Amino acid sequence: MHKYALIKGGIVENVFVCNDDTTAQELFADDLVVNVDTVAAGIGWSYENDVFTNPNAPQSPTMSDLYEVELAVINDEYDANKLKLANEYLNAGLFYGSNEPTKKAEIRSRLQALNQKYASDLNALDEKYGG
């Protein structure tokens, strides 16, 4: 038994099983019948230039979609690191006593480096996606 697609107007109208190609062609002599034993095809799919296309197939992400996903990752990482530094800064007086000014200066320096990395990451992302 073989599987066939009945195609009318470039659209798969039905999929059926039949013993052989000749019988399948005779059953629907006025329409296009294509053997689909080795390809994916379903009712409602289009058929053009010997290719079946699923109209409900998920679309590939656009460049804009990919940019937004990568931007969200960069922003999340930046926000998490910035929050960690803010907590360290607020707690410096509790844990470092007389060394508080030195510790806060070190934290400010790390924040500057974080901000520079963030700006660099954004520039690289824009460059990657042509922005």
Query: Per-residue pLDDT tens for 43-74?
Result: 999 999 999 999 998 889 999 999 999 999 99
Q: What is the pTM of this model?
A: 0.59
Largest CA distance in the chain: 95
DSSP state of 36: -
Rounded to whole angstroms, how far apart are CA atoms 18 and 34? 11
Do the Cβ atoms of 63 and 23 come closer than 8 Å?
A: no
Answer whether residue 29 shows pLDDT above 90: no
pLDDT tens digit sequence for 78-122: 999 999 999 999 888 787 788 899 999 999 999 999 999 999 999
Instruction: State residue 25's pLDDT score.
Output: 86
Answer whether residue 131 shows pLDDT above 80: no
Rounded to whole angstroms, how far apart are CA atoms 119 and 104? 22
Q: What is the mean pLDDT of residues 30-35?
A: 93
Strand order in the sheet with 46-48: 32-35, 2-8, 11-18, 46-48, 51-53
Q: What are phi and psi of 77, to 5 degrees?
A: -65, -45
